[in-house]
Amino acid sequence: MLLRQALRNNYALRAQLPRSFEATSLRSSPAPSNQPAWPRFSSTEAPASNEDPEALLLAKVKYGIKEAMKAKDSLTSTVLRSIVSEHQYSAKQKGNQVSKVSKLITKAIKRRQDTAKQFRAAKPPREDLAEQEEKEAAVLETFLPEAK
C-alpha cells in the first residue's frame, strides 16, 4: 500500500518537473510513446513485404542459420554461412553492386555437383566425399527460390 502511494507521488512529481531536468536525471524513465526507444535490428528478423525478393531470401538464409544452430545441425549451418560469406565478399569487391543471393546459391549448387562428379571420377573413387557434397547441394536447393 505504501509502495503504491510512493510510486504515484513519484510519477506526479515527475509530471510537474520541466523536461530538461527530467532528461538529466539518472533514474528518469523514458517518456511513453508509440515508438520504441531503441530500434531493434536483427539479422534474423523478417524484412517488410515491400522489400525486394533478394533481401527476403537473404533473411531466409540467415534465419536458416539460426535454426540450424539451434538444432545443432553443423552441415546446414556451415553451408548457409558460406552463402552469407560469399554475399558479403561480393559486396566488398563490387562496391555498391551486390551479387544476387539466388545467383550465389545456384553457383554454389553447381560447384558442389561438379565437385561430387570429380570425386567419383577420381582413380580411387571417393564416395564419402561425393555424398557429402551432394548433401550440401540438397541443403542449398531448399533455399533456392522456385522458378515461375
Domain ranges of the chain: 53-143
The pLDDT, as a whole number, for residue 100 is 86
The pLDDT, as a whole number, for residue 4 is 73
Q: How far is CA 114 from the centre of its chain?
A: 29
41-63 per-position pLDDT tens digit: 555 455 455 678 888 899 999 99
Q: What is the architecture, at CATH level 2, of domain 53-143? A: Orthogonal Bundle (1.10)
Most confident of 4-8, 18-22, 28-32, 68-72: 68-72
Q: How confident is the model at residue 33 (pLDDT cuts 50, 70, 90)?
A: low
